[in-house]
Structure formats: C-alpha cells, structure tokens
C-alpha cells in the first residue's frame, strides 16, 4: 500500500469524495476557495520568485483593504448578509410566490411544491423537509440558502426562512474575515539578517527561446486530422488563387 493511499484512506471519506459526502458537496466550497485565489493571482506566473512573493503580498493587501471597507459599508446599511446571499435570497423569495404548496407532515415540516408552468418548462414537483434542512432540488444544500421551494414551505408552516441562511453569509462573519490588517514592509536595509547565504547560480536558469512556447500536450489523432484538413484547405485556396490570376 503506497504512502499516499494510506494517507487518504485514513481520512473520513465523507470529507473528500463527492460520491460519499451525502449530497453536501463540500468540495464546491473548497474548490471555489482555491479558484478564487487563482483569480486573485491571475497573471502572476512565470515570474522570478521574489516578484511572485511581492505580487502575492501586494494583491492580498489590496484584497483585504477593499473588502474591509465594503464590510463596514454593509454594516452601516444594516445589511444582514453579504451581497451574494441577499441577491440569491430575494430572487428566490420572488420566485416562491409562483409555487403551489401541499403540506404533508407537521412533525417533519415536510411538503411538496409544484412550480408554475412557463411555456414548455415548469410544473416540477420538489419535496422539502424543513426539519432536515433539505429540498430535492439540491440548491439549499449547495448554497446554504433556502431555495424558492423551501421558502414557500417556510411560509406555509409560519417559519422564518431568513433564520435558516448559513451563518457564513453574515455580514459579521465577513467583517471578521477581513478585520486583520497587514503591516507595511520596510526597505530591505531594515530586514533581519536571513542567517543563511543566498547562492545565485545563473547556469540553472531555464533557457528562454524567442517565439511561442512549445506545448507539452500529447497530440492524438484528432490533432493530426485537424492539421491535415488545414493543410488541404490551404492547398485548395492556393490552387484557386493561382487559377484566378490566370488571364
Ligand atoms: Zn428547492
């Protein structure tokens, strides 16, 4: 058994496999997190290490600064949740008006919800169980915000749908995330002694060639067909232009 297999096998599979996570789709949250950082650092590639560190710090500082101001504004406006959650909740609230609800069990606070017909679409039935915080459409689980079907059922049972929005959308949680600040960095002359010698060896640098970088993708028969088709088209074009030039 390889080391990596043993490492993964020791972790609860609900935490890292989409097939066994019970529909929670935890990966969506973590993937979004890493994609977000990729977005922040867009363009910071193929640079020297010192430039990469500098640009990462610069952009993170900017990111925190802008969001700290935004968080304060949301707080002053007495906003309950972040913009994303507000927009989502209100749009689903408006949609809920068009649904029809049938209550099933008071203990489970369950009900079926039928959506309104819209041309060829609509007339879908969804099952909502408020006690389990779930709707068969899956959106409640995925976003942590009661979907239009869940909001309709909440209304039918006289429950506040707003109280079921996940607390990570709270403006307070947003503010806490960006409440810390970075210390400005002094000039290099004031830095502590690194306690090790930096060795700069220009021979280990990769050789840069002019022109477009060569792709490392393994080509398959689809690429060969495409190249051949392009060559044939170019040849045909060439033939016709020669013919046109003939007096
Ligand atoms: Zn739903």
Listing from the earlier edge strand, what are the strands of the sheet with 134-135?
100-105, 110-114, 125-129, 134-135
Of 167, 147, 169, nearest to 85 by C-alpha is: 169
Sites in the chain below the pLDDT cut of 50: 244-247
What residues pair up with 118 in beta bridges, in sequence order?
121
pLDDT for 208:
64
pLDDT for 247:
44
Domain layout of the chain by residue ranges: 41-79+174-190, 83-169
Exposed, middle or buried: residue 12 (CB in 10 Å: 0-12, 13-18, 19+)?
A: exposed
User: How many angstroms separate the alpha carbon of residue 145 from the centre of ligand 1?
Assistant: 10
pLDDT for 121:
77
Alpha carbon distance 148, 93 (integer Å): 6
pLDDT for 246:
44
User: How many angstroms separate the alpha carbon of residue 149 from the centre of ligand 1?
Assistant: 4
Q: Tell me the per-residue pLDDT of 48-94, one tens digit each, with 9 for 90 and over.
A: 888 888 888 898 899 999 999 999 999 999 999 999 999 999 999 99
User: How many angstroms separate the alpha carbon of residue 33 from the centre of ligand 1?
Assistant: 25
pLDDT for 18:
76
Q: Going by C-beta distance under 8 Å and a sequence separation of 6 or more, which residues neighbour residue 116?
A: 98, 99, 100, 122, 123
User: How many angstroms separate the alpha carbon of residue 157 from the centre of ligand 1?
Assistant: 16
Buried-state track 148-185, b at ≥16 Cβ within 10 A, e below 16? bbbbbbbbbeebebeebbeeebbbeebbeebeeeeeee
- Longest CA–CA span in the chain (Å) reads 91
Of 57, 33, 32, nearest to 44 by C-alpha is: 57
Here the tokens at position 216 are 């490392």
pLDDT for 1:
65
Q: How many helices (H) and strands (E) does the chain have?
A: 8, 4
Residue 127 is classified by DSSP as: E
User: How many angstroms separate the alpha carbon of residue 139 from the centre of ligand 1?
Assistant: 6
| Residues 45 and 137 sit within 8 Å (Cβ to Cβ) | no
Of 68, 82, 56, 246, nearest to 167 by C-alpha is: 82
The residues placing their C-beta within 5 Å of ligand 1, an ion, are 126, 135, 137, 147, 149
Alpha carbon distance 147, 165 (integer Å): 10
User: How many angstroms separate the alpha carbon of residue 160 from the centre of ligand 1?
Assistant: 16
CA distances in angstroms from 123 to 17, 99, 113, 129, 150, listed in the order given: 33, 9, 9, 19, 16
pLDDT for 226:
66
User: How many angstroms separate the alpha carbon of residue 192 from the centre of ligand 1?
Assistant: 57
Element (H, E) at 243: helix 221-245
pLDDT for 116:
85
User: How many angstroms separate the alpha carbon of residue 146 from the centre of ligand 1?
Assistant: 7
User: How many angstroms separate the alpha carbon of residue 239 from the centre of ligand 1?
Assistant: 61
Place of tokens 């990111």: 63
User: How many angstroms separate the alpha carbon of residue 88 from the centre of ligand 1?
Assistant: 13
Q: List strand residue ranges (DSSP E) for 2-150, in order.
A: 100-105, 110-114, 125-129, 134-135
User: How many angstroms separate the alpha carbon of residue 107 from the centre of ligand 1?
Assistant: 19
User: How many angstroms separate the alpha carbon of residue 141 from the centre of ligand 1?
Assistant: 9
């Amino acid at each position: 058994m390889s080391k990596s297999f043993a490492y993964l096998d020791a972790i609860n599979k609900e935490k890292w496999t989409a097939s066994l996570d019970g529909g929670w789709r935890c990966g969506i949250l973590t993937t979004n997190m890493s994609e977000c950082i990729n977005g922040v650092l867009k363009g910071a590639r193929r640079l020297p290490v010192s430039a990469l560190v500098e640009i990462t710090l610069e952009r993170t500082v900017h990111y925190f600064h802008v969001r700290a101001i935004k968080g304060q504004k949301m707080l002053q406006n007495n906003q309950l949740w972040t913009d994303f959650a507000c927009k989502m909740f209100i749009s689903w609230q408006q949609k809920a008006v068009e649904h029809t609800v049938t209550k099933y069990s008071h203990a489970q606070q369950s009900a079926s919800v039928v959506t309104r017909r819209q041309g060829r679409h609509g007339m879908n039935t969804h099952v909502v169980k408020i006690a389990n915080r779930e709707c068969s459409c899956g959106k409640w689980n995925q976003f942590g915000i009661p979907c239009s079907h869940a909001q309709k059922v909440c209304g039918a049972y006289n429950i506040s749908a707003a109280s079921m929005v996940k607390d990570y959308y709270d403006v307070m949680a947003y503010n806490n995330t960006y409440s810390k600040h970075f210390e400005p960095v002094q000039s290099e002359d004031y830095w502590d002694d690194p306690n090790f010698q930096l060795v700069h060896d220009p021979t280990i640098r990769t050789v840069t060639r002019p022109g477009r970088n060569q792709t490392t993708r393994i080509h398959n028969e689809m690429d060969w067909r495409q190249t051949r088709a392009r060559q044939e088209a170019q040849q045909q074009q060439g033939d016709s232009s020669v013919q046109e030039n003939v007096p």
